[in-house]
Amino acid sequence: MDFENIIAETKEGGVALITLHRPDALNALNGALIDELGAAVDAFEADDSIGCIVVTGSEKAFAAGADIKEMQAKSYMDAYMENFISKWERITKCRKPVIAAVSGHACAGGLGVALRCDIRIADASAVFGVFSRRFGVPMSDGTTVRLPRVVGMGFAQDMLITGRAVQAEEALRIGLITRLIQNGAVLDAAITLGKQIAAVPQTAMNSDRHSAYAQAGLSLTEAFTEEIALAESAKAADAQSGAARFAAGVGRHGGREIK
C-alpha cells in the first residue's frame, strides 16, 4: 500500500506494521495522515493473514500531537471533529489487537493515538504528555475519556491539569505502558509480541479482548452476561479444535504463553 504520510507493510508471522511518517513535523497528525491510518487499518483488518497490528512513529517521535499549521488554516472544530468517529476512532474499532511501539514523544494527539491501542510498550526515550495545555488547546480526541480508564483518575488529572512530561519509567509505574524496552529495541519487541499474539487461537482471544472493553459502563450482572454470550459464540467457533490442540499438548505448562 502506498501512502504519503504513513508506511504500511506486512511482516512475517501475521504482523502488520503502520509507521506514522511525517519526520519533518515529528509525525504531527494532520487530516491526511488520519485518513491514511484508517485506510491501512481497514486493509489489514480485512486480511486474514494478519493477526496483530503494530503502530509506531518514524525517526525521533511517535507523534507530536496535532498539526498546528493545519489547525491555524482550519477552524478548531473542523480540524478535530470532521468525520471523528469514522476516522479518528478507527484503531479502537479494529477487530484485531493493536500494539503501540513508542519511542520519543507521544504527546497530545500522539498520546491519543497510543491510548487507542490495546497494548502500549515503549523505550526509555519515550515521553508522554498533554503538551497542548501549554498553549491553551483542550483535548477533543477521546484522551480525557481514555486516559482515566487506563491510569486511573488521579494520575489522569495530574497529566491533564498540569500538562507535564511523563517519562517512560513513570509511564510504566502508572500503567500507561506495560513494558519498558531498551532504547533502539522497542519496534523489534513489538513485532515479536505481535507474532506471539498472531500465533494463538484468534477467536477466543478476541472474544476476551472485546469483553474487557464491553464491560465498561455495565453492571456486574450485565458484564457477566455479555462475557458469557461472547464466550458461547467463541466456543461454537473454536472450542472443539482448541480442545483437540490442548489434548495434543499445545498450551500445557505455559507452552503458548505470550511473554
Mean pLDDT, range 64-83, rounded to an integer: 63
Output the pLDDT for position 91.
Answer: 85
Output the pLDDT for position 243.
Answer: 54
Residue 126 has pLDDT above 80, yes or no: yes
Band of pLDDT at residue 56, cut at 50, 70 and 90: very high
Residues in the chain: 259
Q: Where are the alpha helices (DSSP H) in the chain?
A: 31-46, 68-73, 76-81, 84-88, 90-93, 109-116, 143-151, 153-162, 168-174, 186-199, 202-214, 220-247
pLDDT digits (tens, 9 = 90+) for 238-249: 655 555 555 555
Band of pLDDT at residue 70, cut at 50, 70 and 90: low
Q: Mean pLDDT for the chain?
A: 86
pLDDT digits (tens, 9 = 90+) for 7-43: 999 999 999 999 999 999 999 988 889 889 999 999 9
